[in-house]
């Protein structure tokens, strides 16, 4: 099952995540990038910690 962010608001330029499957672009749903659960969790923790925020901004 694929899920789109609630921040997408119906836009077509979105990235979706799929539990146990990976990440895909809504414009190319036939292909996806497989991501291990531990790697995904580490990525989410980094995002929440503001590690990818533009300089001077935090999430």
Distances (CA, A) of 39 to 5, 30, 57: 19, 22, 24
Per-residue pLDDT reduced to its tens digit, 1-57: 788 877 776 666 788 888 777 888 888 888 889 998 899 889 889 989 989 888 766
Write the DSSP symbol of residue 22.
E
What per-residue confidence (pLDDT) applies to 57?
64
What per-residue confidence (pLDDT) applies to 59?
53
What per-residue confidence (pLDDT) applies to 49?
92
Task: Locate the domains of the chain by residue range.
Answer: 2-48
What per-residue confidence (pLDDT) applies to 5?
74
The residues facing 29 across adjacent strands are none
**CA separation for the pair 14, 25 (Å, rounded):** 6
What per-residue confidence (pLDDT) applies to 42?
92
């Amino acid at each position: 099952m694929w899920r789109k962010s609630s921040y997408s608001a119906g836009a077509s330029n979105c990235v979706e995540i799929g539990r146990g499957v990976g990440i895909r672009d809504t414009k190319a749903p036939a292909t996806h990038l497989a991501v291990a659960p531990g790697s995904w969790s580490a990525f989410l923790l980094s995002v929440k910690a503001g590690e990818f925020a533009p300089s001077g901004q935090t999430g």
